[in-house]
Amino acid sequence: MLALLPVTLKLWGVKSLGDAGVSGALAAAAAAVLAAVILQTIWGRLNARKLNLPPGEMEWPIGGLKFYKQGFGGIFAFPGLARKMRNITQPRICLRGYADIKKVLGADGDLAEVAWPASTRALLGERSVTFATGAYHRSLRRLLGPCFAPAAIDSYLPSLECIVERYCAQWADATAAAVEKGGAGSGGDLALLPKMQKEARMLTFEVMAIVVTGLRLSPEQLYDMSHSFDSLTRGMFVPIALPLPGSLYAKARAAQRHLFAILDSQLDALSATAASGQPPTANGGGGGLLAGGSVMERLLGMRDDEGRSLSREALRDLAINLLFAGHETTATSILRMLLVLRSRPDVVSRLRAEQAAVAAAQGEAVTGSSLRCMPYLDAVIKELWRLEPVVPMVPRRARKGFKLTEGWDVPQGWGLALGLAEPMALHPTWAPWAGGKGPAGAPFPPWLPPPADPASDPLHPALFNPDRWRIEAHADTDEGEGAGEGAGARAADTSSPPGTLSCPLNALPPEMLAFGGGVRRCLGANLAWAELKVVTALLVRKYDFAPALEDMEVGGGRCGPWQLGPPHEGWRWQQYVRQHRQWR
């Protein structure tokens, strides 16, 4: 390693190690850094020998690079409930068990803390909800919670329906034009898939920016901000936060500066409106007034214990954080739903019948009441999130050492990768397909190939089957915390047949951590439910879907293929996350 110093110094413009002055200082600094890394590694290994660590490979000095290339879907492809690994230079333990993940999420700030990459912290900001801690974090959630409560979501629906109808009409026109240009059966509309991902992001960004956050953007500004967010997102999770010219991270920082400039003008306008005594914003012009105003109006009025308002830097960070979290993942769910609708005419037929009944009973407008009368659509969304959760993993860092359920030790300071999708994959209802093996057994149901004849085993865990869900009474929360944990969900009903799941409307089983858990559970869960339901409802009411093509495959699964439809439809959802990244 020391032999590399002369080469490194030449890259810095130093001719030889013998040069006086700066060359000696650089050599000493490089040697000191190298010595520190070696000593830290030795010290860590000595301490690790005293602990009962889970199995796994600890590549040295840099590990986990294959996951940055292949995607992190395979990071949890191991037997047991825990595995150790090295992520770049940091040692990490990957967790799959529900009890361990719930323990970590429920002890935020005590056992563990948020540990997103430095690039994420820099681009979302220290004062954002994601990185807020303590009393400041609690104050933010109390302030923002009402903006995502069921009553608030209901007030957004007129504007949301108007926006969705406009985008659906545009998508239908673009699809018809592509098919006409390519010829019937040519699959010319497949070229629209990358565009559809961007279009879905535009839709959800408009909803979040104008209807929820309360920004006053022209169509040109809206497009400009959405495009900048695309650049911001591409650089948000890079492993090394260095703004090298032309790098994704450098482009993301440039996009951040551009977004800050737009937000500054928006904040000035909102501040002027508040100072003039005008009433709170009407939600995108299509709904009634939300008590307390939009998200940004609430943040502008927020005061700490000493009566001080939030700084401009904090307001920017919060706006960036909320806009990112409020549109990116929902857009991905919308695209996946579009692919399901295209490949499963049987599902579309059932959805269409349900929508006809709802419209006949409650009218054509999509309201909060009508959304709560769509149990089959609810089941379709649950099944979509069961097989392909949008956020399959979140990182944490151990603030202190503790033990896992299997007896393994977690050392203080080690990273933690929480597999949010894993508890549902290990749900006891799949036991018959796992050969009766427990959570430590292998193979696990998600990796099981689908049956050759789906009709012979319709409840197989690898099959997309909304009928496995037994939807019960409606469950909503008033605090805007979303549905799921603490919102009507409960332990699995052991009396249900294997392969089936009982759950209230708008809620998820406790093991289904699509929105995370604990004090950092997704604030916008109710909004995500509503957006996906409104988009799907309007699509099946007014539009038809072209059949899937034999050669049409879309990649991504975190754990191998799952079957969207019968084999003759030629539709398997394979490695979607990896290809989804390429689409961007």
In DSSP notation, 503-523 reads EEET---TT--TT--GGG--T
End-to-end CA gap in the chain: 38
Q: What element of type H or E holds 572?
A: strand 572-573
Q: Looking at the domain assignment, is residue 35 inside a domain?
A: yes
Distance, CA of 556 to CA of 558 (rounded, Å): 6
522 known ligand binder = yes
pLDDT at 267 exceeding the cut of 50: yes
pLDDT at 504: 93
Q: Looking at the domain assignment, is residue 419 inside a domain?
A: no
Task: Kindly state the DSSP code that residue 97 receives in the 8-state scheme.
Answer: -
- Our count of domains for the chain comes to 1
pLDDT at 361: 97
> Which residues, 6 or more positions from 61, have their beta carbon under 8 angstroms from its beta carbon?
37, 41, 89
Which is more confidently placed, 353 or 564?
353
| pLDDT band of 277, cuts 50, 70, 90 | confident
| pLDDT band of 483, cuts 50, 70, 90 | very low
Distance, CA of 250 to CA of 269 (rounded, Å): 29
Model pLDDT for residues 381-399, shown as the tens digit of each residue = 999 999 888 888 999 999 9
Say if strands 393-398 and 112-114 run parallel, antiparallel, or are unpaired: antiparallel
pLDDT at 271 exceeding the cut of 70: yes
pLDDT at 280 exceeding the cut of 70: no
- Sign of the dihedral through C-alpha 457, 507, 438, 414: positive
Domain that holds residue 39: 1-50
Q: Looking at the domain assignment, is residue 32 inside a domain?
A: yes
Distance, CA of 390 to CA of 558 (rounded, Å): 10
Distance, CA of 6 to CA of 15 (rounded, Å): 8
pLDDT at 41: 60
Q: Looking at the domain assignment, is residue 521 inside a domain?
A: no
pLDDT at 89: 85
Q: Looking at the domain assignment, is residue 573 inside a domain?
A: no
Q: Looking at the domain assignment, is residue 28 inside a domain?
A: yes
Cα-based distances in Å from 92 to 34, 227, 477, 568, 570 = 22, 34, 35, 43, 39
272-276, 452-456, 499-503, 552-556, range with the lowest pLDDT? 552-556
pLDDT at 192 exceeding the cut of 90: no
Report yes or no: 409 and 401 within 8 Å, Cβ to Cβ: yes
pLDDT at 559 exceeding the cut of 50: no
Which is more confidently placed, 174 or 219?
219
> Dihedral angle at the C-alpha atoms of 427, 429, 430, 431, nearest 10 degrees?
100
| pLDDT band of 432, cuts 50, 70, 90 | confident
Closest among 1, 128, 142, 130 to 60, alpha carbons compared: 1
Q: What is the largest CA-CA distance in the chain?
A: 87
Strand partners, 563: 463, 572
Distance, CA of 206 to CA of 204 (rounded, Å): 5
**Residue 524: phi, psi to the nearest 5?**
-95, 20
Residue for token pair 């006086």? 20
Strand partners, 93: 84, 416
Model pLDDT for residues 285-315, shown as the tens digit of each residue = 444 445 557 899 889 988 877 788 999 999 9
Count helices and strands in the chain by DSSP H and E runs: 18, 11
Q: What element of type H or E holds 544?
A: none
Ordered DSSP codes for 189-202: GGGHHHHHHHHHHH
83-87, 303-307, 338-342, 526-530, range with the lowest pLDDT? 303-307
64-78, 136-150, 313-327, range with the lowest pLDDT? 64-78
pLDDT at 8 exceeding the cut of 70: no
pLDDT at 491: 44
**Residue 502: phi, psi to the nearest 5?**
-105, 135
Q: Looking at the domain assignment, is residue 42 inside a domain?
A: yes
Quote the percentage of the chain above a pLDDT of 70: 73
Token readout for 147 is 């903006």
pLDDT at 571 exceeding the cut of 50: no
pLDDT at 342: 85
Cα-based distances in Å from 274 to 280, 299, 306, 393, 432 = 8, 12, 21, 40, 61
Residue for token pair 């860590």? 44
Average pLDDT over residues 75-79: 84
pLDDT at 182: 64
Tell me if residue 308 falls in helix, strand or coil: coil
Q: Looking at the domain assignment, is residue 17 inside a domain?
A: yes
pLDDT at 3 exceeding the cut of 60: no
Cα-based distances in Å from 372 to 202, 471, 515, 530 = 26, 11, 20, 10
pLDDT at 16 exceeding the cut of 60: no
Distance, CA of 552 to CA of 187 (rounded, Å): 9
Average pLDDT over residues 422-448: 67
> Mean pLDDT of all residues in the chain?
80
Distance, CA of 253 to CA of 233 (rounded, Å): 10
Average pLDDT over residues 273-291: 61
Report yes or no: 284 and 163 within 8 Å, Cβ to Cβ: yes
pLDDT at 583 exceeding the cut of 50: no
| pLDDT band of 254, cuts 50, 70, 90 | very high
